[in-house]
Amino acid sequence: MTEQEIRVAVVGYSFMGKAHSNAWRNVGAFFPGLPAVRQQVLVGRDGAAVKAAAHQYGWAEAATDWEAVVARDDVDLVDICTPGDTHRDIALAALAAGKHVLVEKPLANTVVEAEEMVAAAASARATGTRAAVGFNYRRVPALALARELIADGRIGAVRQVRAAYLQDWLADAAAPMTWRLRKETAGSGVLGDLGSHVVDLVQLLLDEPVVTASGRLETFVPTRPGPDGAEQVTVDDAAWATLGTASGAVASVEVSRMATGRKNGLTLEVYGDRGALSFDLERLNELQVQDGLAGPALGFQRVLVTEPEHPSLSAWWPPGHVLGWDHTFTIQAAELLQAVAGGADPTPSFEDGLQVQRALAAIADSSERGGVRVDVPTGPTGPTGPTGRTGTED
C-alpha cells in the first residue's frame, strides 16, 4: 500500500484551503502506512495570490483554471475548498474525470444540487472513484470516541440530544455587510454554516437520520453597513430546531453568530437511558462521560482523549499532549487516503451530506411555515414533492 502515491489538487486557498493544505502536508508524517501524498497543485482565481499561497503551503504548483486542473493526468484527487455555490460543478467535473473528490461541507447550497452530486458519486463509485464530504468534526478524537461509546451501548438507547454551535462574530450590529449575509451568494446563514455540522454529528452519533424537523430562523440585525450605505441581510443569523430521529430520539439544536462571548462553541450533550456524554469544541480534547455500564450515574467523568487506544491518537503524541483544531483535517485526510487505498467507500459520503442538506431545508421550511413539524425525506434520491418540504430552493 505504501508504494502508492496520491497526487492532490486543492481548489481554494483561503481559510479552508489553508487548513486542507496543512492536512495534506502533514498526513504522511503521522499516518505512515498510507499512500504517499504529493501536493501537486493549488487552484485559485487570483493568479498572484494563489501562487504565493501555493509556495507558502508547500504546493508544487499553482493554477487558476480548475476545469483544466481536474482534467490533468497527474492529479488523482480533487479537494474542493471553495464557497458552496461552486461545489456541484467542480465535483461533477472531477468525478467525471475519474478523480477522487473531497468536498468541504456543506455538500452544496441546495438539496437539488446535493442530489445531483449523490447521483454522480454513485456512478463514479462503480469505477472505484471515491467521494467524501468534509465534516471534519467527525474526526475530533473525542467525538469519534463518543460514537464508539454509543455504538457499544455505554449510554444505552439515546433519547435526547442537546446541541448548539454558538459564535459571536456578528454580535456587533456595526459589523459590515459581507457576501456571507446575502442569500444569493451564501445560500444560507448560520444554519447552513454551523447547523450543518451539528446535524451531521447528530446523525453520526445516533447512527440514524433525522426524520422530522421544527425550526425557527431569525435575523436579529436586518441591515448592515455596506460600501454604499445600509444593506439588507437576507440570511439567518440565529436558528433553532427540534429534530426527531427514526428511533424516536429528539435533538434540540441552537446555532448563532450572535452569542456574545462564544468563539467556537460547538457543544453536544447526549442522554441515553443508561448514561450520557457531553462535549465542547473549545475543549476538544475532552469528553465528559457518564458510563452507564459503570454503576449509578453520579457524575460525568472528564476523559482526556489523548490515550493511545483512543481514536487516531496512536498517530500523535503521548497521553496528555493535546491536539488542536487543525489536526482534525489531518485525520480526515488519513481516513480518506485509507479508503482510497483500501478500495472502500469513505465516510461521510455524499449521501450523508445530502441527508444533512435535507434536514437543513426542512428546518428552514418549517420556519417559514410557523414552526410546524415537517418530515425530512430519507429515501433514495428522487423527485421531491411540490410542497417544498425537502427543498427550500424550489
Judged by CB under 8 A, the residue of 19, 114, 334, 362 near a second copy is 19
Contact between 148 and a second copy per CB under 8 A: no
State the Cα–Cα distance between residues 181 and 244, nearest whole angstrom.
Answer: 29
CB of 337 to a second copy, least distance (A): 14
CB of 253 to a second copy, least distance (A): 9
Contacts of a second copy in 336-375 (CB under 8 A): 366, 369-373
Contact between 153 and a second copy per CB under 8 A: no
Contact between 240 and a second copy per CB under 8 A: yes
- Please work out the total of residues on this chain that contact a second copy, with binding judged by CB under 8 A: 94
Contact between 211 and a second copy per CB under 8 A: no
Contact between 28 and a second copy per CB under 8 A: yes
CB of 214 to a second copy, least distance (A): 4
Segment (H or E) for 338? helix 327-342
Torsions phi, psi of 210, nearest 5? -75, 130
Torsions phi, psi of 338, nearest 5? -65, -40
Judged by beta carbon, residue 45 or residue 263, the one nearer a second copy is 263
CB of 318 to a second copy, least distance (A): 7
Judged by beta carbon, residue 120 or residue 374, the one nearer a second copy is 374
Going by C-alpha positions, the residue among 99, 94, 81, 100 that lies closest to residue 42 is 81
Judged by CB under 8 A, the residue of 178, 264, 347, 381 near a second copy is 264
Judged by beta carbon, residue 91 or residue 259, the one nearer a second copy is 259
State the Cα–Cα distance between residues 208 and 150, nearest whole angstrom.
Answer: 12
CB of 299 to a second copy, least distance (A): 4
Tell me the β-bridge partners of 230: 225
Contacts of a second copy in 45-74 (CB under 8 A): 52, 56-58
Judged by beta carbon, residue 128 or residue 222, the one nearer a second copy is 222
CB within 8 A of 90, min separation 6: which ones?
A: 11, 66, 70, 78, 80, 82
Judged by beta carbon, residue 93 or residue 155, the one nearer a second copy is 155
Cβ atoms of 135 and 193 within 8 Å: the answer is: no
Contacts of a second copy in 319-338 (CB under 8 A): 319-327
Judged by CB under 8 A, the residue of 227, 229, 261, 379 near a second copy is 261
Contact between 387 and a second copy per CB under 8 A: no
State the Cα–Cα distance between residues 218 and 125, nearest whole angstrom.
Answer: 40
Contact between 35 and a second copy per CB under 8 A: no
CB of 145 to a second copy, least distance (A): 10
Sole window of 5-13, 107-115, 198-206, 240-248 interacting with a second copy (rule: CB under 8 A): 240-248
CB of 328 to a second copy, least distance (A): 10
CB within 8 A of 218, min separation 6: which ones?
A: 236, 237, 238, 239, 240
Judged by CB under 8 A, the residue of 49, 246, 274, 388 near a second copy is 274
Going by C-alpha positions, the residue among 137, 70, 149 that lies closest to residue 352 is 137
* Cis amide linkage into residue 346, ω under 30° from 0: no
Judged by CB under 8 A, the residue of 13, 66, 135, 271 near a second copy is 271
State the Cα–Cα distance between residues 279 and 150, nearest whole angstrom.
Answer: 14
Contact between 162 and a second copy per CB under 8 A: yes
Task: Locate 73 and state its grid cell.
Answer: 493526468
Going by C-alpha positions, the residue among 298, 273, 199 that lies closest to residue 243 is 199
Interface characters, 290-319, with a second copy (x: CB under 8 A): x-x-xxxxxxxxxxx-xx--------xxxx
Contact between 246 and a second copy per CB under 8 A: no
The β-bridge relationship of strands 131-134 and 238-245 is unpaired
Q: In the chain, count of helices (H) and strands (E)?
A: 11, 17
Judged by CB under 8 A, the residue of 196, 245, 256, 392 near a second copy is 256
Give me the DSSP letters along 31-83.
-TTSPEEEEEEEE-SSHHHHHHHHHHHT-SEEES-HHHHHH-TT--EEEE-S-
Contacts of a second copy in 64-123 (CB under 8 A): none
CB of 241 to a second copy, least distance (A): 9
CB within 8 A of 200, min separation 6: which ones?
A: 105, 135, 137, 138, 348, 352, 353, 356
